């Protein structure tokens, strides 16, 4: 009986159909394994791609926020250059005579009298030379205020640096006035004005105290 079973198994093993089944089973297992591996790899790849896309979006948004202030910068620069050009044209006088003539005219209109008028110039800085005016002003309080206000409203750019009361008599006020304006360096050099003397604050205060 056992010999018959053995012979039967040998016959089945020798049969091509048996080998076909065995090969099919091996291929099926291989397909299942490869399919499972492919599915896992695809899931991992998809997750990685999704994360990379998200990272790229974040980076793009960050770059967008960083470059936002730069947009239209060329237009703003052009507008700034135009504004500077207009300021130089409209508010920086063309010569020293324009400054002295305008201040003298304002003094006459306001009714004040200017004494000890002294103009000096500083070394050029930022394409401009500062022109300093140091003068005594005599007049009534309303006249002096009118003169000061007219200086501040004048088209030429005047900056009041200091006002010191030096005396008062018979309704008249004596005031020391220090004013600054600016010229282009070439115009300042052509004016022939002396250089402004740089003095320490302490010595200035001492001299002012003596004047008072």
- Of 22-31, 58-67, 177-186, 194-203, give the range with the top mean pLDDT: 177-186
pLDDT for 26 equals 66
Hey, which residues does 162 pair with through a beta bridge?
178
3-state secondary structure of 72: coil
pLDDT (0 to 100) of residue 41: 65
Give 121's pLDDT tier (boundaries 50, 70, 90).
very high
Q: What is the pTM of this model?
A: 0.57
C-alpha distances (whole Å) from 30 to each of 45, 63, 119, 193 are 22, 48, 102, 101
Q: Which residue, 84, 108, 106, is CA-closest to 182?
A: 84
Least confident of 35-49, 101-115, 131-145, 177-191: 35-49
Higher pLDDT, 135 or 22: 135
pLDDT in tens, 34-88: 767 766 666 666 656 666 676 777 677 777 777 766 666 677 777 777 777 777 7
Is the distance from CB of 129 to CB of 183 less than 8 angstroms?
Answer: yes
**The pLDDT value given to residue 71:** 67
**Rounded mean pLDDT of 160-175?**
90
**The pLDDT value given to residue 197:** 81
User: Which position has the higher pLDDT, 168 or 66?
Assistant: 168
pLDDT, position 143: 95
Residue 127 burial (C-beta neighbours within 10 Å; 0-12, 13-18, 19+): exposed
- How high is the pLDDT of residue 209? 40
> What domains sit in the chain, N to C, each tagged with a CATH number?
89-197 (3.30.70.60)
Q: Residue 49 has what pLDDT?
A: 61
């Amino acid at each position: 009986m056992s010999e018959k079973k053995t012979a039967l198994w040998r016959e089945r093993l020798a049969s091509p159909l048996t080998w076909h089944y065995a090969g099919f089973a091996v291929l099926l297992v291989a397909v299942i394994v490869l399919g499972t591996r492919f599915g896992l790899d695809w899931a991992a790849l998809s997750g990685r791609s999704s994360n990379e896309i998200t990272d790229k979006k974040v980076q793009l948004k960050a770059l967008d926020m960083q470059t936002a202030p730069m947009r239209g910068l060329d237009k703003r620069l052009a507008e700034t250059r135009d504004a500077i050009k207009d300021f130089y044209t409209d508010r920086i006088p063309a010569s020293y005579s324009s400054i002295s003539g305008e201040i003298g005219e304002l003094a006459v209109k306001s009714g004040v009298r200017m004494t000890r008028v002294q103009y000096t110039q500083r070394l050029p800085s930022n394409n401009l030379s500062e022109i300093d005016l140091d003068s005594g002003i005599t007049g009534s309080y309303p006249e002096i205020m009118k003169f000061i206000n007219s200086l501040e409203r004048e088209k030429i750019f005047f900056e009041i640096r200091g006002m010191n009361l030096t005396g008062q008599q018979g309704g008249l006020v004596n005031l020391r006035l220090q004013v600054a304006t600016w010229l282009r360096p070439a115009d300042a050099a052509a004016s022939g004005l002396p250089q402004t003397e740089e003095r320490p604050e302490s010595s200035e205060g001492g001299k002012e105290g003596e004047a008072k």
